[in-house]
């Protein structure tokens, strides 16, 4: 087992890796570029396979206490009429909720606190400026060192991935998503989805006793010229095309700083996920549009499998190769399934087998990674 590790990125993958490595006796330094991880973001949907890893990390009780658990999903027409309420798959096992919604910033804070409690040295507002395959790295505070392992958990547009000469980059799917974080109407107790109407998808997820995040998915559009108030007005205009709980959600959409817009992208690194002593995890290795709500879950699973392989191999290169081999097929299936759902919606494909895809995905995720 390695003796030291530098974890770059304090999101789900990085914090989880730091917790598990520190518990295994590794001296862990975790650096996160964002100074205050508890100040940004909207909400996040966490399915059972993510909750299974949270239990391994020792944060499940805190996640359940701060989030909002539910076991079904609703389908609605654009005017708000309920078409069906479907039991959601408990992919983490029968003793865990199917889904938990929570504020993304709260999840990030809980994970970093647990990393610190496990013994990792956590530094926020700190960036890596140089990294080498031999584990050498320089931080922007002037720190230089060499670690037995560098875990690149620095996200979708990973700088470390590029510095390692891995040319894979995220590609647009053709959709953009509006998100808003606001207070929760009492009627919202689960995720409801509307496919079609003014947007491809209109949905919302309760994230606490008094919070939700809501989202509207459109064709990818250049929105870079819109200021905060224009973004709010644009999302409110789109939300006005939907009835049911959306009427009250729209009334509560008043804070322009709580609205954001991004494009759906996807990628999967083909070939080794490591170079020397530097390994990619989470969004640095693979990403998908949120149509299956599996981004954080895949990142958490990466961390769990990585540390499992590290503790099971004498040779670092063998452990890192085994980690990628074990993760590539499962993560790839989630990426391709997520992209397929998006493309069916974009093409309005009458032959789309959404129930079949969802069933196959749930069966896969119910299996331990």
Residue 96 falls within a domain, yes or no?
no
Which one is predicted more confidently, 254 or 37? 254
Residue 80 is assigned to a structural domain of this protein = no
What is the mean pLDDT of the segment spanning 244-255?
Answer: 97
User: What integer is the mean pLDDT of 316-334?
Assistant: 98
| Number of neighbours of residue 4 by Cβ within 10 angstroms | 16
Task: Tell me, yes or no, whether 142 and 245 share the same domain.
Answer: no
CATH number reported for the structural domain that contains residue 294 in this entry? 3.50.50.60
Check residue 296 and give its pLDDT.
97
Which whole number is the average pLDDT over 132-156? Answer: 97
Does residue 358 have a pLDDT over 90?
Answer: yes
| Average pLDDT of span 284-312 | 97
Average pLDDT over residues 242-255: 97
Tell me the average pLDDT across 183-189.
97
Q: What is the CATH number of the domain that holds 211?
A: 3.30.9.30
* Domain assignment of residue 76, yes or no: no
Judge whether 61 lies within some domain: yes
Rounded CA-CA distance 308/326 in Å is 11
Query: Does the pLDDT of residue 148 top 80, yes or no?
Result: yes
- How many Å apart are CA 111 and CA 62, to the nearest integer? 10
Residue 39: what pLDDT?
Answer: 78
The answer on pLDDT for 106 being more than 90 is yes
Query: Are 154 and 192 members of one domain?
Result: no
Q: What is the pLDDT of residue 182?
A: 96
pLDDT value of residue 38: 81
pLDDT of residue 65: 98
Calpha distance 107→345 (Å, rounded): 30
Q: What is the mean pLDDT of residues 120-129?
A: 97
Statement to judge: residues 9 and 119 lie in one domain = yes
For the entire predicted model, the pTM comes to 0.97
pLDDT, residue 40, reads 67
The mean per-residue pLDDT over the stretch 247-273 comes to: 96
In the predicted model, what is the mean pLDDT of residues 202-227? 97
In a domain, 93, yes or no: no
Residue 85 maps to a domain: no
Q: What is the pLDDT of residue 214?
A: 98
Query: Strand pairing of 149-152 and 4-8?
Result: parallel
How far is C-alpha 32 from the chain's CA centre? Answer: 16
What does the chain come to in residues? Answer: 369
pLDDT for residue 25: 97
CA 351, 80, 292, 215 torsion-angle sign: positive
Answer left, alpha or beta for residue 119, where phi above 0 means left and psi between -120 and 50 means alpha: left
Range of the domain at 243: 173-264
- Considering the domain architecture, whether residues 194 and 226 belong to the same structural domain is answered as yes
Within a domain: residue 98? no
Percent of the chain at pLDDT exceeding 90? 98
Instruction: Please provide residue 57's backbone torsions phi and psi, each rounded to the nearest 5 degrees.
Output: -80, -15
pLDDT score for 14:
98
Per-residue model confidence as pLDDT tens digits over 36-64: 988 767 899 999 999 999 999 999 999 99
Picking from 200, 232, 264, the residue at the C-terminal end of a domain is 264
User: What does 97-156 look like in DSSP terms, one character per residue?
Assistant: -SEEEEEHHHHHHHHHHHHHHHT-EEEES--EEEE-TTSEEEETTS-EEE-SEEEE---T
Stretch 258-272: mean pLDDT, rounded?
A: 96
Please give the Cα distance from 337 to 357 (Å, whole number). 7
Q: What total of structural domains would you count in the chain?
A: 2
For residues 275 and 313, state if they share a domain: yes
Pairwise CA distance, residues 218 & 299, whole Å: 26
Q: How far apart are CA 15 and CA 300, in angstroms?
A: 9
142, 163: one domain: yes
């Amino acid at each position: 087992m390695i003796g030291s590790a530098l974890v770059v990125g304090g999101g789900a993958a990085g914090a989880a890796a730091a917790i598990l490595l520190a518990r295994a006796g590794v001296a862990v330094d975790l650096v996160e570029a964002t100074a205050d991880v508890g100040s940004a973001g909207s909400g996040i949907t966490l399915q059972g396979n993510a909750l299974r890893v949270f239990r391994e990390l020792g944060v499940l009780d805190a996640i359940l206490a701060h989030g909002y658990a539910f076991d079904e999903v609703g389908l609605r027409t654009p005017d708000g009429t309920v078409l069906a309420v479907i039991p959601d798959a408990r992919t983490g096992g029968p003793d865990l909720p199917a889904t938990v919604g929570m504020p993304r910033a709260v999840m990030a804070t809980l994970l970093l606190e647990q990393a610190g409690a496990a013994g990792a040295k956590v530094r926020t507002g700190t960036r890596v400026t140089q990294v080498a395959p031999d584990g050498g790295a320089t931080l922007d505070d002037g720190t230089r060192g060499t670690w037995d392992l560098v875990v690149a958990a620095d996200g979708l547009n990973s700088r470390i991935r590029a510095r390692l000469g891995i040319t894979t980059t995220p590609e647009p799917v053709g959709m953009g998503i509006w998100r808003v974080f606001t207070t929760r109407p009492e009627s919202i107790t689960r995720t409801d989805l509307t496919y079609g109407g003014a947007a491809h998808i209109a949905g919302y997820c309760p994230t606490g006793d008094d919070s939700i995040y809501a989202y509207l998915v459109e064709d990818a559009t250049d929105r870079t010229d819109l200021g905060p108030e224009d973004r709010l007005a644009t999302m409110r205009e789109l939300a006005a095309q939907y009835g049911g709980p959306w009427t009250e959600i729209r009334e509560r959409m008043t804070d322009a700083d709580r609205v954001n817009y991004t494009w759906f992208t996807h990628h999967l690194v083909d070939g080794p996920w490591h170079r020397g002593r530097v390994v990619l995890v989470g969004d640095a290795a693979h990403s998908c549009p949120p149509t299956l709500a599996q981004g954080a879950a895949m990142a958490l699973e990466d961390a769990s499998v990585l540390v499992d392989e590290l503790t099971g191999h004498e040779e670092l290169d063998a452990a890192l190769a085994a980690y990628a081999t074990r993760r590539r097929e499962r993560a790839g299936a989630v990426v391709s399934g997520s992209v397929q759902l998006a493309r069916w919606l974009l093409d309005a494909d009458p032959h789309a087998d959404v129930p079949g895809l969802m069933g196959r995905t749930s069966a896969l995720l119910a299996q331990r990674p």
